Amino acid sequence: MQKSDFYFELPAELIAQTPLTSREQSRLLCMDRVTGTLAHHHFYELPKLLKEGDCLVLNDSRVLPARLIGSVDKGTGSLSSACPVEVVLLRDVSPANDKMVWECLTKPGKKTKPGTEIVFGDRELTATVIGITDGGNRLLEFSYKGIFMEVLERLGKMPLPPYIHEELEDAERYQTVYSSEVGSAAAPTAGLHFTKELLDEIASKGVDIRYVTLHVGLGTFRPVKTDNIEDHDMHAEYFIISEETASAVNKTKSNGGRVIAVGTTSCRVLESCSDDNGLVSAFSGFTDIFIYPGYKYKCLDGLITNFHLPESTLIMLVSAFAGRKNTLNAYDAAIKEKYRFFSFGDCMIIV
């Protein structure tokens, strides 16, 4: 298939720049993946669309405040003559000792050659460039006092997607209310619509709520550059699915219930760990599964997901689940009804 098969025109004003005041007030487009039939709802109505015996699988990864603004000392010893540098933490590659080493994006790259020292805040955090990856990213060794994650919470900012140009007033609005495992460079955005009260209401209906962890990398925003999508090199992301979650999913399947993934990240975990009969196994490691039309889903019965970028791997994943024609028709309807798109936008449930 061609990348252009997944193109659609999106008015720029439909790209949500800020979250709604109340998470659950997002609009929810319901699609029957067999017939393509659409119905318009709000997210607070989700409990009515779920059934007793369903299993809802959510990604509990938490976003790192991974964007740091620092300074490179030109050698005078005074930061008044320093060059500003932006650093985005991508992946912890620390060796088996006390050193803290991360693969990072740096801007401007020409100012961060090996040996360069970058200073953050009042020198409570510093980093030295110790190498360059094959892809051009920098390897930074950090020095700090105290606990690294606590320092990062004080100095770091949320690495918002490139299509969001507004400042985020409350950093927690780019976190799900159930996030617990720190490690993502971007939020699993389908989960941003849930409140704790809504989760309680869903659970009280007899829906089994389970969690997996997949740490979202910035590769999720990397465009498909090949015309033939099969030639695309999919990024890998680290994930964990526990014995408890795997057993709950398998029990749901054996009882005839539906397994519904919240987000493409949860979907990728379940499909990465499923056998041909749809049974999942506990596992931790990396997945680079690339799901596009022609893929036969093994475990998934339903998907809750935001609206994605044209020609992205994410709209391809949705198209594999609901059919390309059904998916593009749904997107066309969402545009006509002025749904809000992307990370802070509205969402769909496909069953």
Tell me the DSSP string of 206-236: TPEEEEEEE---GGGGPPP--SBGGG-----
Q: Which whole-number Å values give the CA distances from 169 to 19, 166, 173, 183, in the listed order?
A: 10, 9, 9, 22
Segment 3-32 shows an average pLDDT of 97
Q: What pLDDT, on a 0 to 100 scale, did the predictor assign at position 74?
A: 64
Q: What pLDDT, on a 0 to 100 scale, did the predictor assign at position 161?
A: 86
Average pLDDT of the chain?
94
Longest dimension (CA), the chain: 70
Most confident of the ranges 164-168, 212-216, 220-224: 212-216
- Those residues whose C-beta lies under 8 Å from the C-beta of residue 325, and which sit 6 or more positions away, are 36
Q: What pLDDT, on a 0 to 100 scale, did the predictor assign at position 220?
A: 79
Q: What pLDDT, on a 0 to 100 scale, did the predictor assign at position 82?
A: 61
Q: What pLDDT, on a 0 to 100 scale, did the predictor assign at position 318?
A: 98
Query: What is the rounded distance in angstroms from the CA atom of residue 279 to the CA atom of residue 106?
Result: 42
* pLDDT over 60 at 78, yes or no: no
Q: What pLDDT, on a 0 to 100 scale, did the predictor assign at position 135?
A: 83
Q: Which whole-number Å values give the CA distances from 176 to 104, 160, 179, in the listed order?
A: 24, 14, 5
* pLDDT over 60 at 246, yes or no: yes
Q: What pLDDT, on a 0 to 100 scale, did the predictor assign at position 152?
A: 93
Q: What pLDDT, on a 0 to 100 scale, did the predictor assign at position 80?
A: 43
- Those residues whose C-beta lies under 8 Å from the C-beta of residue 244, and which sit 6 or more positions away, are 210
* pLDDT over 70 at 244, yes or no: yes
Query: What is the rounded distance in angstroms from the CA atom of residue 237 to the CA atom of residue 334?
Result: 30
**Which has the higher per-residue pLDDT, 79 or 201?**
201
Q: Please, which pLDDT band fits residue 310 given cuts at 50, 70 and 90?
A: very high
* pLDDT over 60 at 262, yes or no: yes
Most confident of the ranges 66-70, 136-140, 158-162, 318-322: 318-322
**Which has the higher per-residue pLDDT, 90 or 201?**
201
Q: What pLDDT, on a 0 to 100 scale, did the predictor assign at position 75?
A: 59
Query: What is the rounded distance in angstroms from the CA atom of residue 181 to the CA atom of residue 239?
Result: 11
Which residues on adjacent β-strands are paired with residue 228?
2
What six digits make up the tokens of 263? Answer: 């987000």
Q: What pLDDT, on a 0 to 100 scale, did the predictor assign at position 196?
A: 98
Q: What pLDDT, on a 0 to 100 scale, did the predictor assign at position 79?
A: 46
Query: What is the rounded distance in angstroms from the CA atom of residue 8 to the CA atom of residue 339?
Result: 15
* pLDDT over 80 at 222, yes or no: yes
